[in-house]
């Protein structure tokens, strides 16, 4: 039961998840991060760390997000590992406020 980054991640790049991942299983592209399901040890530490709540347990995804299980697997294989926190994208804080208000 690995954890999965959903499309809610796209647009802020806080990468708090990366700093608390014990096994460095986060990958990244220009849009968002992805969890490598082969390396993830299911600790769940990244879930509360994400400021916008983009990370979910695979078995708890709503039906319209289930596709992200496969997307994480595929994109993690195609993208580099990210090992430390990156500066957030411009507009990240406004986006976060909008998501939390929702």
Partner 1 sequence: MTPKASSSRRVAGRYRVAIIGGGPSGFYAAEALLRSGQSVDVDMFERLPVPYGLVRFGVAPDHPRLKQVARVFDRIAEMPGFRFFGGVEIGTALSISALRSCYNALVFATGAPVNRLLEVPGEGLPGSFQAGDFVAWYNGHPDFRHCQFDLSAEQAVIIGHGNVALDVARILAKTADELRHTDIAAHALDALSVSRVRRIYLVGRRGPDQTRFTAKELQEFAELADCDPVVELDGFSELSSSAGLDTEADAALATLREFSTRPVSQRRRCVFLFGLLPLGIEGEGRVQRMVLSQCRRNVQANPSRIRTIDCGLVFSSIGRRAAPIGGIPYDEAKGIHANIGGRLAADGRVLHGLYVCGWSKRGPQGTIGTNRACSVETVENVLADLSRLDEPLRHPDTLFRGKSVPRYIDYPAWGRIDAEEIARGRPNGKPREKFVVPDEMFAVGNGGVVCRA
Q: How far is the CB of 5 from partner 1 (least distance, A)?
A: 15
Q: How far is the CB of 16 from partner 1 (least distance, A)?
A: 8
Q: How far apart are CA 72 and CA 93, in angstroms?
A: 24
Q: Does 54 interact with partner 1 (rule: CB under 8 A)?
A: no
Q: How far apart are CA 14 and CA 12, in angstroms?
A: 6
Phi, psi of 76 (to 5 degrees): -65, -35
Q: Does 55 interact with partner 1 (rule: CB under 8 A)?
A: no
Per CB under 8 A, contacts with partner 1 among 4-23 are: 19-23
Q: What number of residues does the chain have?
A: 102
User: How many other C-beta atoms lie within 10 A of the C-beta of residue 29?
Assistant: 13
Cα–Cα nearest to 23, from 39, 7, 10: 39
Q: How far is the CB of 99 from partner 1 (least distance, A)?
A: 13
Residues 7, 29, 31, 42: which binds partner 1 (CB under 8 A)? 42
Residues 7, 31, 57, 90: which binds partner 1 (CB under 8 A)? 57
Residues near partner 1, by CB under 8 A: 19-24, 41-48, 53, 57, 84
């Amino acid at each position: 039961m690995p954890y999965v980054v959903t499309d809610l991640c796209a647009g802020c790049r806080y990468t708090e998840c990366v700093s608390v991942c014990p096994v460095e299983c986060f990958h990244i592209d220009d849009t968002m991060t992805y969890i490598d399901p082969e390396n993830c040890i299911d600790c769940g530490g990244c879930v509360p760390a994400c400021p916008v709540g983009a990370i979910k347990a695979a078995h708890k995804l709503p039906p319209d997000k289930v596709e992200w299980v496969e997307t994480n697997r595929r994109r993690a294989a195609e993208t580099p590992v990210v090992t430390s926190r990156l500066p957030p994208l411009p507009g990240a804080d406004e986006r976060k406020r909008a998501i939390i208000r929702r």
